[in-house]
């Protein structure tokens, strides 16, 4: 007898958006420095965040989730302002850095195993049940 699984489309979409935010945040770092343990932790955290997003409503956390969204919405203009402030380019020793000197980081490609982790991880296949036993 085959079990039927019911899923909330809204909760799945919320979890997917949160997952995308998580992956984009990880992408801000120097991905070439991510070690094996880091990779495992990122995969683990990604899966756990997704699972917990699914259970927020069961835990009665809708109000808290909406409060978080309100906070984020309120703080985004300030984050934009801070990200564009000239003092962002002051080093720890007080030297003012030239932003153009750091453009090479933008073009630096992470190793393939890290790109796979971020871009095409087996995560979504695992969540949707489309992962083979060997993959």
What tens digit of pLDDT does each residue of 40-53 get? 888 889 889 988 88
pLDDT value at position 2? 76
pLDDT in tens, 71-119: 999 999 999 999 999 998 998 898 998 888 887 777 777 777 777 766 6
The answer as to whether 3 is a domain residue is: no
pLDDT value at position 66? 95
pLDDT value at position 65? 94
The answer as to whether 86 is a domain residue is: yes
Structure tokens at 65: 């989730």
Total domains in the chain come to 1
pLDDT value at position 134? 38
Contact 31, 110 (CB under 8 A): yes
Classify 129 in phi/psi space as left (phi over 0), alpha (psi -120 to 50) or beta: left
What residue numbers bound the domain in which 90 lies? 9-128
pLDDT value at position 16? 87
Measured CA distances, 16 to 29, 78, 97 (Å): 21, 25, 37
């Amino acid at each position: 007898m085959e079990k039927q699984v019911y899923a909330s489309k809204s909760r799945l979409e919320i979890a997917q958006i949160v997952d995308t935010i998580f992956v984009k945040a990880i992408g801000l770092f120097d991905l070439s420095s991510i070690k094996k343990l880091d990779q495992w932790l990122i995969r683990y955290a990604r899966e756990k965040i997704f699972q917990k997003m699914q259970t927020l409503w069961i835990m009665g956390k809708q109000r808290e989730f909406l409060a978080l969204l309100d906070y984020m919405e309120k703080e985004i203009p300030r984050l934009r302002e801070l990200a564009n402030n000239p003092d962002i380019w002051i080093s720890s020793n007080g030297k003012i850095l030239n932003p153009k000197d750091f453009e090479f980081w933008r073009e630096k490609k992470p190793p393939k195993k890290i790109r796979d982790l971020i871009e095409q991880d087996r995560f979504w296949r695992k969540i949707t049940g489309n992962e083979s036993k060997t993959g």
